Each structure stands twice: as structure tokens, then as C-alpha cells.
Structure 1
Amino acid sequence: MKKSDIQDISIIIPVINEEANLGRLIPYLRAVADTPEKLEFIVVDGGSSDNSMEVAIALGAIALSSPIGRASQMNRGARSAKGSILYFLHADSYPPQAYDSCIREAILHKDTAGCFRLQFDSRSRFLNLFAWFSRFNFQICRGGDQSLFITKTQFDALGGFDERYRIYEDNEFIGRIYNHSRFTVLPEKLKTSARKYRKNGLLRLQYHFARIHFLYYKGSRPEVLYAYYDKHIKSN
């Protein structure tokens, strides 16, 4: 395949006070990509008080501002993206070697959206067990930490992320993908930070995540989910 035929990927990274992680992540993404020249990096800031925007610009990324909330931030990035494939990634998550080729190969096989399997930067048996379940292609096993790739055409057709959700926006959107198109879980692993577990406690945080899942499936409004999260979970 000629390089001119290779689809561009727009990598969209929502941030709040992530200057240190951005300084590591963007060089890493370039270093392990098969075709870094076919990547577009878009960092969308939700109101940082650090130098996240300056770091993003210095590393050659497009830096955008948005109202706080990952749904708003990721939609903002998607609107400006030039790539035919969108790849949503957290600032503390590191996809595998040749992740760009893995994503394109999945798209060529008619999978319009998908993610990688999950791995934590921790030796915790509990977290390793939790990550092990990410190999299964069921909606309940999905989460934003696994990253998400999707064709821009499919993203637009589904209407993007629901900005009423301050949290759980990734799960809600992935649920719509499962209902309307093909979703794939690639066998390669993405390594993500366990910092939120270290801050909140493993069992305590997983319990509160389970409660949020329960509230969502019970039909609770987005603001109810956020109020529960804000009360019980310490942010990064």
C-alpha cells in the first residue's frame, strides 16, 4: 500500500492538568507508531491551571480549549479532526507498539470501532484480574481507559458523545456503538495508570464504579451519576 493510501488517524486527548503525562505520551506515540507522519495529535484542555496547553503546542500537537467535561472536550477535538479515523486516548494511557497499524487493520476488516485490551501499571492481582476481563467483547467489559477508535463517519452518524454526561460518557457512547455497528477488541494491550485506584483504594473504587454502572442501568440521569462520583471518588 502506498503511503498516500494510508488513512490518517486523529488522536484526541482530553486533559486537565496533565503537563507531565503529555510530555511523556506524545513522544511515545510518535516513537512506537508505524507511520507517525499520518497521525494528527489534538489535545483538548478543559481548564488546566498548569502548562498542559504549552506542552502540547511545544510537542507539535493542536491545542484546543473546551468547557470542562470529557464528552465536551472529545467532541471539540472530533469536530476539528482531519483524519478519517478518530482515536480517543487518556493522557495516562499508552497503546501498544504499532497501534496505528493495528487500528487501520481493524478498520479494513469492516470493524468501524474498537479498543485494545487493558493492562494496568501495577502488579496488583486484583487489577490484573479486572484487566483480564477486557478481552471479552461485551459492553459491560468496556471503559474509557481502554481507549476508543472509530471512523469519523460512524462517530458523526452516532452524534458523538452525549455532553450531558460529566462522567460515564465513554460507556454511554460505546453502548450506542454496540447497538448500531460492529465493535472489536484487539488482542494487543494498552497500559494505563492505576493512579485513581492508588488514590481511592482498590476495592473502594471498584465498588463505587459498580454502583455507578448500577445507577446508569437503573435509568438514573447524568447529573445523578456525576453527583455520586463527585461525592465518593477522588479525582486524579
Structure 2
Amino acid sequence: MKISVIIPTFQEEENIGRLIKYLKRQANTSLLQEIIIADGNSDDETVTIASQQGVRVLQCPVRGRAAQMNYAAARASGGILYFIHANTFPPKGFCDDIIFAVKDGYSAGCFRLQVDHNHWFLQLNCWFTRFDSDYVKFGDQSLFVTKEQFKNCNGFDERLYFLEDLELIKRIKSNGKFKIVSKHVLISAKKYLEKGIYKLQIAFFLMFIMYKLKYSQDKMREAYKRMTHSK
């Protein structure tokens, strides 16, 4: 059983080249089937940079993280799908960790989180990712799942703009075992520093509360844009 790494992208020219090089260095090549870039019609250099790195690039017909990941998953040839964001760097030996978890009976899982900034609040958030709780589950922790389990759960819900990974994990847990690997993925704190550490975290928490209260995704998107001044 081998791993297909799937990276949904949109305007990621700043990150994608560095991430692909990192993945190639750190991956166990005997376990890595492919790296797939699932692009949402970026008009920057994302696709060019990825293509130059020799990875598989898919131009997805529908933009949106859930739709892009589903599109790539349907075309992946690996028996295990590993979804990561373009600003997420998995730990050294991540392929071995994923295979070991699957062989141990887990059909899906993620890693703990680490941020490249020593602010106490960010570090506290990262500390909590050792617990298997919806309240401290972050999409940046990445997600691996067997292709069979992914199909059984019908993939990501493409109606969701937010928390599509959390919603899928909930369905996975009702149908199989989920593992939090004790190693860490590393993400950039750039977005936190640009938007404001507390402000952005409050926005994320609000999205979670609105999701739990079953607000529409459009309402959630409007609220997120107002809080973070996003386009």
C-alpha cells in the first residue's frame, strides 16, 4: 500500500515549490506513490512552479478545497490518501508513520500541530492538538485516510467552505479507528501575524460555534470575511 499526497492549491506560488522539495526529501520513496497538486485555477505561478518540480498537477473544474480534494482523490493511484495544505510541512518519516498507523488498524488519522512562532497563545493551541477532540482539531494538522475508507464515507462534503475536514473525520470515526500521531506538522504563523493572533483565533472559534449551531456556510463565510477583512 502506497501514499498519494494531495495538496489543494489556489494562489500558492509563495509556498508550493518549497513544500514539494521538502516532501521529496523527507518521504520514503518506496512508500510514496505520487504528489498531486489539485489546483483551483490559480492565475499566479502556482501551476508552473509545481509542474517544474515534476509532480502531477490537476486543474480542477470547481474551485473550493473540498471539491479540489475530492477531484484529486478520485484520480489518485495510492491506497492511502494524505491531504495537506500548501503551508504545512509534515514530520520527517511521515510516510512510515502513516503506513505504521494503517497497518495497526487505523483507517485514518492526523498529526499534532506546531507553529513556527513562539507566541504563548499559538504554542498553547498546538499543545492541545494532542487530544482527540472536535474543539481542538485543526485542518492544518493534515489528514491521512485509506482510499477505501474515503470512498465508503463519500469523501468531503463539497457544500462546505469551512470545517470540511472536521465533518469528514466525524463520519470516519463512526466507521473506523482514527489516530493522532505523536509527531508534529509545522505550519507558518504568517497568517496569524498578518491578521492578528487573537483576532484570527476568535474568527476560527466563531466558525466552529456557527458550524455546531448549524448556521449556513454563506453566513459563516460572511462573518469570517468581516472579522478578518478577507476578500
TM-score interval, normalised by the smaller of the two chains: over 0.9
Number of aligned positions between the proteins: 230
* Residue 206 in structure 1 maps to residue 201 in structure 2: yes
Q: TM-score, normalised by structure 1?
A: 0.93
Q: How far apart are 1:206 and its partner, in Å?
A: 1.0
Distance, in Å, in 1 between the alignment partners of 2:63 and 2:10 is: 8
Q: How far apart are 1:35 and its partner, in Å?
A: 2.4
> Aligned AA for 2:226?
K
> Aligned AA for 1:20?
E
* Residue 107 in structure 1 maps to residue 112 in structure 2: no
Q: In structure 2, which of residues 49, 54, 72 is the aligned counterpart of residue 77 of structure 1?
A: 72
- Identify, as 1 or 2, the structure richer in helix: 1
> Which structure 2 residues correspond to residues 96-175 of structure 1 after superposition, within 5 A?
96-175=91-170
2:55 paired residue number = 61
Contact 1:88/1:147 (8 A) holds in 2: yes
Q: In structure 2, which of residues 164, 187, 190 is the aligned counterpart of residue 192 of structure 1?
A: 187
Q: TM-score, normalised by structure 2?
A: 0.95
Structure 1 pair 134–17 and aligned structure 2 pair: CA distance change class (3 A): same
Residues 96-129 of structure 1 deviation map (CA, whole Å, 9 limit, x = unaligned): 0110000000000010000011000111111000
Unaligned runs of 5+ in 1: 1-6
Q: How far apart are 1:199 and its partner, in Å?
A: 1.5
Q: In structure 2, which of residues 85, 88, 103 is the aligned counterpart of residue 90 of structure 1?
A: 85
Contact 2:33/2:77 (8 A) holds in 1: no
Contact 1:165/1:223 (8 A) holds in 2: no
Report the secondary structure of 1:19's partner residue.
coil
1:32 paired residue number = 26
Shifted more, 167-176 versus 35-44: the winner is: 35-44
Superposed structure 1 runs of 4+ greater than 4 Å apart: none
Shifted more, 17-26 versus 31-40: the winner is: 31-40
* Residue 231 in structure 1 maps to residue 226 in structure 2: yes
1:17 paired residue number = 11
Q: How far apart are 1:212 and its partner, in Å?
A: 0.9
Q: How far apart are 1:34 and its partner, in Å?
A: 2.1
Distance, in Å, in 1 between the alignment partners of 2:40 and 2:144 is: 21
Unaligned runs of 5+ in 2: none
Q: How far apart are 1:56 and its partner, in Å?
A: 1.1
Contact 1:165/1:226 (8 A) holds in 2: no
Residues 197-231 of structure 1 deviation map (CA, whole Å, 9 limit, x = unaligned): 11211111111111111111111122222222222
Distance, in Å, in 1 between the alignment partners of 2:175 and 2:220 is: 24
Distance, in Å, in 1 between the alignment partners of 2:150 and 2:31 is: 23
CA-atom RMSD, angstroms? Answer: 1.5
